[in-house]
Amino acid sequence: MQSKNILIIGANGQLGSVLTKELQSIYGKESVIASDVFLDTEFDGIFEIIDATDLDKINKIINKYSIKEIYHLAAILSAKGEEKPLWTWDLNIKMMLNVFEASRLNKVNKVFFPSSIAVFGDKAQLINTPQSAFLNPSTVYGISKAAGENWAQYYFTKYGLDIRSIRYPGIIGYQSMPGGGTTDYAVDIYHSAVKNEIFSCFLDSETKLPMMFMSDAIRSTIELMQSPIENIKIRTSYNLAGMSFSPNQIYNEIKKSYPDFKIEYETDFRQTIADKWPKSIDDKQARNDWGWKPKFDLTSMTSIMLEKLKEKYNKQV
Ligand code: SER
């Protein structure tokens, strides 16, 4: 594989930590520069401290390593963002614009900017939500992602900066923990099952949301970034689907392996967020433009999640 210098911003996060390892294995450790606001002691590779609100620091690192590609994964998510709305807006927008501007100034070839199902609201068709649905996000996180999508398109149209983006559903993996999202329950529930704990769910049993297994999320990101430029027709952000399920459905799937597993429902403010999000996503544009196809459904994901987490917790005893 041809080497290129890649910078990941937010490399300690749920997605960033797994994506960093995958990019290292494709392009070589010497080509991947991970960054975040602190160094994770277990990290293996090249690492730089970057606070993405600091434009000078981003510029310096791009120049130091002749960076050609950036994955900007740092953001405050939907639930945490509601605790401090203005701070969330300032942070998410500042970091994103710094990355776009530094990429433009330093002639970075390609940028990945994640968007989210949080850009949709109750004015969209919430079953099989179309690519071009009306966007009326209800959270600051969603508002910042909807603005980010438009900025991405602006930088592409005005400056030719090749920014590519996916509207991720909830991402579920065994390697890392999410933080501050409305879909986080779907990771936590597997940990509770394997630890033989009763799971307290903050969404009600029938709240269906779009979700995706980590390996599909990583593969989609890399496939989008590797696609020829002429295949990228959407310059805001691509709808992407993996699977859709409710807490009751994931619970019943886990029960096939853990028949004594118990769940309790105690909904909180995250229920209100989830009620305004799509239940399922129409991703035919991504399928047509760059050949997207998910591999995992609830059953296949659950079997890997339980097996890997069992291994992890067994090692700890
Ligand atoms: N997983 C995210 C959240 O729940 C959605 O993008 O905030």
| 8 Å CB contact between 243 and 314 | no
Residues 6+ apart with CB under 8 A from 189: 199, 201, 247, 250, 251, 254, 263
Residue-level pLDDT at 1: 47
Which of the residues 65, 71, 141, 238 is marked catalytic? 141
**Which residue's CA is minimally distant from atom 1 of ligand 1?**
170
Ligand 1 pocket by C-beta < 6 Å: which residues?
77-78, 116-118, 141, 168, 170, 181-183
Distance CA 241, CA 129 (A): 10
Residue 240 has pLDDT above 70, yes or no: yes
pLDDT tier at 3 (50, 70, 90 boundaries)? low
Q: Which atom of ligand 1 is nearest to the CA of 171?
A: 1
**Which residue's CA is minimally distant from atom 3 of ligand 1?**
181
Residue-level pLDDT at 316: 81
**Which residue's CA is minimally distant from atom 2 of ligand 1?**
181
- Strands 209-213 and 243-245, by their bridges, are antiparallel
- Angle 109-159-68 (CA atoms, 0-180°, nearest 5)? 10
Distance CA 208, CA 248 (A): 9
Q: What is the pLDDT of residues 36-48, one digit of tens each?
A: 999 998 999 999 9
- Helices 247-255, 298-316: inter-axial angle, 10-degree rounding: 60
Q: Which atom of ligand 1 is nearest to the CA of 182?
A: 4
| 8 Å CB contact between 170 and 183 | yes
Residue 50 has pLDDT above 90, yes or no: yes
Q: What is the pLDDT of residues 244-284, one digit of tens each?
A: 999 999 999 999 999 999 999 999 999 999 999 999 999 99
| 8 Å CB contact between 67 and 103 | no
Q: What is the pLDDT of residues 298-309, one digit of tens each?
A: 999 999 999 999
Range with the poorest average pLDDT among 1-15, 58-72, 259-273, 283-297? 1-15
Residue 2 has pLDDT above 60, yes or no: no
Distance CA 103, CA 68 (A): 9
Distance 312 CA to ligand 1 centre (A): 25
Range 158-171 average pLDDT: 98
3-state secondary structure 91-148: HHHHHHHHHHHHHHHCCCCEEEEEEEHHHCCCCCCCCCECCCCCCCCCCHHHHHHHHH
- First-last CA distance in the chain: 40
Distance 316 CA to ligand 1 centre (A): 29
Predicted TM-score (pTM) above 0.95: yes
CATH number of 175-210+243-280+295-316: 3.90.25
Phi/psi at 111 (5° precision): -130, 135
Order the strands of the 209-213 sheet from edge to edge: 170-172, 209-213, 243-245
- Catalytic status, residue 141: yes
Residue 49 has pLDDT above 90, yes or no: yes
Distance 188 CA to ligand 1 centre (A): 14
Distance 3 CA to ligand 1 centre (A): 32
Q: Which atom of ligand 1 is nearest to the CA of 81?
A: 7
Residue 286 has pLDDT above 70, yes or no: yes
Q: Token pair for residue 271?
A: 């229920």
Mutate to test the pocket of ligand 1, among 117, 172, 271, 272 (most ligand atoms within 8 A of CB): 117
Distance 107 CA to ligand 1 centre (A): 31
Q: Which atom of ligand 1 is nearest to the CA of 78?
A: 7
Portions of the chain given CATH number 3.40.50.720? 6-170+212-239
Into which CATH architecture does domain 6-170+212-239 fall? 3-Layer(aba) Sandwich (3.40)
Distance 92 CA to ligand 1 centre (A): 14
| 8 Å CB contact between 203 and 189 | no
Distance CA 255, CA 105 (A): 53
Count the residues in the chain: 317
Q: Which atom of ligand 1 is nearest to the CA of 180?
A: 7
